[in-house]
Each structure stands twice: as structure tokens, then as C-alpha cells.
Structure 1
């Protein structure tokens, strides 16, 4: 008598698109934040084709105009359409946010792996990290921009450097915990190279926390860029960014408050949407949070 062939339960595999849709629709607030963030990103990508007016054309005859059918958000002190400049300014602000998050996570991951796995490097690297964290991030960013001059790359470096220590400390704590696991100790006992252990056993444990940390870095970088531009220590004033628009309009705030309020509102809504989406990603990737949701 032949034994029946045991059936294997199908593996529960969720595609990246389906997982993203589940995160975006996890709650009405997160869904609205996802829609707002998608609109901001799409408007920044297609800015040259959707702006209603030339965002850099000077028109002194229509300077400081209030909102109207022609200029939906009014004009600035040089007669430029405010809505067009906000849409175009989103390109630079989003690039700064995303690029700073990528660079900070990449550098912090490498240093955190070294600090957490190689013990003699831990004390040296962490003392350097503690020294950087002792300096207020905005002051360090202003000092870097003042030293190297205002440009997109300078602002990226100035924003990325203060964020790296936070990523290093996060990765180091994860690696210190993971290296005590039996599978890592078994790999060490088997003579597996350090690079292979890091790549196959340690890095996968940091992916989910780094994705969450990256969203917060992106939001923080957008805010920092706006602060630097508002203080005159950011990107060249000729390049439209949300911070530059507010910096140029602060002198005329009493005449036309919208020059400062509208880009400030866009910055606030964008950062809030990124943070809400980051919280949703954290809940989706954290098994404990998912278990709480099932129990509820």
C-alpha cells in the first residue's frame, strides 16, 4: 500500500505592489497622506509641462497680485506666478529629501556594520559619531554651506552628514543583537568570511528598520533644506525651492501673506504625509504591531 504524498501548503507570497497597496489603505488617514504625497511627487516630476505660467519670467506689472482666475495663488514681488514656482520648487526639495535619505542610509549602513561587528572599530567610530551628534544639525549644516558655498551638492552634504550618526547607531544596535544569534555564530565557526556574514546574515536584519528611518530622514531633509534656504544659507536663490520662495516673500508678508503661507503649507503637508506613511510602513513591517492589529 502506497503512502499518500504529503501536500505542502502554498507559500504566502505578497508582491511589492500588493504590500504597498495594503500599507496605503491601512487607514483613511494614511490613504489621504498617500494620495497627497503621490500628487506632490507627480506634480514635481511633470512640473515643466503642468505649470500654468513661466515660473522664472519677471513681470513687474503684475507684482504682488492677490489670487485670481489668472494667478490662482497670486504673484510674488517680481510678478512671477506663485503656483508655478511652488510646483517647480517641489522638484529640488524632493530631490534633496530623497537623495539625503539614500546617502545617509548607505553611509550609515556601512559604518554601522563595521562598528557593530568589528569590536576594535566600535570605540573609535562611536566616539566620532557621538562627537557629530553633540553638534546641533542645523548649525553644522550652516557651517558646511558657509565653508563650501551654496549649491545643490553642498546642501546635500550639509543635510546628510548630521543624519549619518543616527543611522550608524541604529544599525550598530541591530548588528550587536544579530551577531549573538546561533546562525551567525555557526557561520563564524564554519570559517565564513566577514564580508559574506555581513551580506547574508546581518544586512537583511537591517532592511526594515532602515526603510522606516529613511522616510523620517527624507522628511527631516526637506524641512532642513527649507530652513537653510529661508536663512539664506541654502540653494542659490535663483533656483526655485520651497524655502527660497518663503525667504523671498517674508519681506512682503504684510502685503501678501500668501507668498510665505502657501509654500509653508505645502512643506508642512508634505512632511506630515511622509511621516504618516513612515508610521504605516513601521506598523506593516513590525510583527508585534501587526499582531496587535489582528487582536483588535
Structure 2
């Protein structure tokens, strides 16, 4: 019977898509998805969509107001703001998605071990508690200062504080799932530990991890912007939304658009990701299914 249930059950992605509809979640997630898709397409096509070279400096064009040629104006080095925002979005999104993938991969692996092995649980969770006791922004600043301002070091600095949150979530799911009859049956039949972990327990973590992944992406984008704004992020030679705002704050009173437009784009992107994450949470929440049933 269990085998028949697995054969008739839809894959997680199809179940998620079937439940995210205006009737279930409202129109907001669809607007957010459209806006996020537009940002992704623009940033991915930045080499062809950028109207000017985002790295080209011209002192004669510095701090130009918005005009037909420079739609959002120029910065203090005469670089086109719109072109830099388009290229900067690619870097910011790359950092966010990469940090989420690495944090989820490490957190799921460690969480499976902590939730299934009681002795490892005590050791691992004390280490996770120690990491969570430290402010994540301070950990990020220390790691970037130690390894230098590069994209790789920023991704690592953002990933490490996120791992304990993923570990705790996966561990909680595994602690419940390991007591289920099908897991006990697998143990009684002599299934290997890796098979139990990755075939029986891992699928139970996929739904909450999809939701958690969206929040990590949004948090990582904000953290990267905060680090760059504080001068502890990616090198200023590489445009990101945080770097653009950090450079614009020096002339904010005279040219507020240098901070305003990157901030608006950052807000739209993060808000869209959070709305999509909320919709995914509602679609995958069993309590929502019971209320609708």
C-alpha cells in the first residue's frame, strides 16, 4: 500500500505549483513573481541591455541628473547609473542564490546527521547554538576582513551564519520523521544508514527547505548590500546594489537618486522573494490543507 501511495503521489514541484494559485494565495505572489522574473531577465541580459559601459569613467559627465541619454543620471565618476544597476543586480543575485544553495546543502547534511544520531546531536547542536549566539553581521564582517573583499569570501561570510538555522529546521523534521513506522520498518529490514537518511528522511525536509531557501536568498541579498554599504563587502570595483548606494551616500543631499534608485530596486527584489516564500509556505503547510478540506 505504501508503494501504491508513492506511485500515485504527485512530485513536490507539481503539488507546489498546483496549490500556488490566486484562489489559494491571492494575486500578490503572482505580481511578485512577475517583478522578480523581470529583474532576473534584465540582470541576466545586462551585457546587451545596458545602454552604456557600466565601468567607463568620464569626469566631464560626473553627477549628471537624469536625462534622455542617461535615464537615471551618472555617479561621481561619470558612470551611467542605470547600466551599473543592471550589472550590479547580477552580482547581488549571484551572491544571494549561491549563499542559499551552499547554506541549504551544508545545513541539510548536518541536520540529517544531528537528527538521526543522538550522540552527534548533542555535539553538533551545541556548536550551532554557539554560532547563533554571535551576531551574523559581525561574523560576516570578520570573515570578509580575514579573507579579503571578494565575491567568494562574501558568499562564505553570508553562508556560515545561515547554516545553523537550516540545521535546526532539518533536525526538527528528522526527529519527528525517524519515529514514523516506515523508517522503523526500513531499519528492521536492514537498510543502510545512507539509504535511510537520503531516501526516507531527506524527502521530508524538501518542503520546508524550499521555503527556507527563499528567505535565505532575500536575507543574503540584504546582507551583501549592508556589507558593501559599510565598506566590508565586495570590492568597490565590482558594482553591486550595496556598492552603488555606498558610493552615492557621499553626495546624497545633492544627488539623492544615486541612493534612491538602487534602494528601490533592492526593495522590490527582496520583497518579491519574500512574498513568493510566503506563498510557498502557505501552499505546503498541512494546516492550510486541513482548513480548506
Cα distance, 1:207 vs. partner? 0.4
Q: Distance in 2 between matches of 1:244 and 1:40?
A: 18
TM-score (norm 1): 0.92
**Does the 8 Å contact 1:140/1:158 carry over to 2?**
yes
1:40 matched residue in structure 2: 39
Q: Distance in 2 between matches of 1:149 and 1:67?
A: 35
**Does the 8 Å contact 1:24/1:34 carry over to 2?**
no
- Equivalent residues in 2 for 1:47-86, closer than 5 Å: 47-86=46-85
Structure 1 residue 147 and structure 2 residue 146: aligned?
yes
Q: Deviations over 1:1-59 (max 9, x none)?
A: xxxxxxxxx95757947954762654221111011100111111100000111111112
1:3 matched residue in structure 2: none
1:196 matched residue in structure 2: 195
After superposition, the Cα gap between the structure-2 partners of 1:273 and 1:229, relative to the gap in structure 1 and judged at 3 Å, is: same
TM-score (norm 2): 0.93
Structure 1 residue 23 and structure 2 residue 14: aligned?
no
After superposition, the Cα gap between the structure-2 partners of 1:151 and 1:168, relative to the gap in structure 1 and judged at 3 Å, is: same
Q: Distance in 2 between matches of 1:128 and 1:205?
A: 24
2:260 matched residue in structure 1: 261
- Equivalent residues in 2 for 1:238-277, closer than 5 Å: 238-277=237-276
The aligned length equals: 285
| Structure 1, gaps ≥5 residues long | 1-9
1:218 matched residue in structure 2: 217
Cα distance, 1:183 vs. partner? 1.0
1:163 matched residue in structure 2: 162
Cα distance, 1:97 vs. partner? 0.4
Q: Distance in 2 between matches of 1:247 and 1:271?
A: 18
1:207 matched residue in structure 2: 206
Cα distance, 1:217 vs. partner? 0.3
1:108 matched residue in structure 2: 107
Q: Distance in 1 between matches of 2:173 and 2:183?
A: 13
Q: Distance in 2 between matches of 1:146 and 1:127?
A: 26
Structure 1 residue 177 and structure 2 residue 176: aligned?
yes
| Structure 2, gaps ≥5 residues long | 1-6
SS at match of 2:20: helix
SS at match of 1:239: coil
Cα distance, 1:291 vs. partner? 3.8
**Does the 8 Å contact 1:24/1:277 carry over to 2?**
no
Q: Distance in 1 between matches of 2:126 and 2:16?
A: 39
Which range moved further: 16-25 or 197-206? 16-25
- RMSD after superposition: 1.8
SS at match of 1:30: helix
**Does the 8 Å contact 1:155/1:225 carry over to 2?**
yes
After superposition, the Cα gap between the structure-2 partners of 1:223 and 1:24, relative to the gap in structure 1 and judged at 3 Å, is: farther
Q: Distance in 2 between matches of 1:128 and 1:291?
A: 37
Q: Distance in 1 between matches of 2:236 and 2:21?
A: 36
Which range moved further: 177-186 or 10-19? 10-19
Select the structure of larger CA radius of gyration.
Answer: 1
